Amino acid sequence: MNMDRQREVPLDGNAAGGRLRELFALDMTAAEIICDGCGAVAEIGAVRVFGGAMGAILRCAHCDTVVLRLTHTPAGLWLDMRGTRRLFVASPAS
């Protein structure tokens, strides 16, 4: 991974793993997200991310619905998951 770009290029949820760990206690890249737009299931690591200095926007690979927005501001961290129907995190033993 070498994602040192200022331009908005699609990367993926792997790149958002660190920022998501600021909120979640578990690794989120292996978590499954179910798109509220089309019902597609994808691991966050496999989902495209459009990023910038402020945060990350994750879009469904099938229908392009924004499934997650993570925004850093000087005041704090914002998480908007309106495009996500469900989030599934497998237990480590499964």
Partner 1 sequence: MPATSVAAPRLHWMTATVRDVIDETPRVRSLVLGVPEWPGHRAGQHVDVRLTAEDGYQAQRSYSIASAPQAAQLTLTVERIAEGEVSPYLAGEARAGDRFELRGPIGGYFVWTPELGGPLFLVAGGSGIVPLMAMLRQRAAANSTVPATLLYSSRSVDDIIYRAELERLAGQGDGLQVVHTLTRERPAGWNGLARRIDRAMLESVGFAAAARPRIFVCGPTPLVEAAARSLRDIGHELHLIKTERFGPTGT
Return residues touching partner 1 (CB under 8 A): 1-7, 9-15, 17-18, 21-22, 25-31, 43-46, 48, 53, 89-92, 94
Residue identified by tokens 């070498």 is: 2
Q: Closest CB to partner 1 among 14 and 65? A: 14
Instruction: Write down the least CB distance from residue 94 to partner 1, Å.
Output: 6
Strand-pairing partners, residue 5, are: none
Q: Closest CB to partner 1 among 29 and 84? A: 29
Q: Closest CB to partner 1 among 3 and 77? A: 3
Q: Write out the two tokens for 13.
A: 């949820």
Instruction: Write down the least CB distance from residue 76 to partner 1, Å.
Output: 16
Please give the Cα distance from 7 to 84 (Å, whole number). 26
Please give the Cα distance from 59 to 71 (Å, whole number). 15
- CB–CB of 57/51 below 8 Å? yes
Instruction: Write down the least CB distance from residue 59 to partner 1, Å.
Output: 13
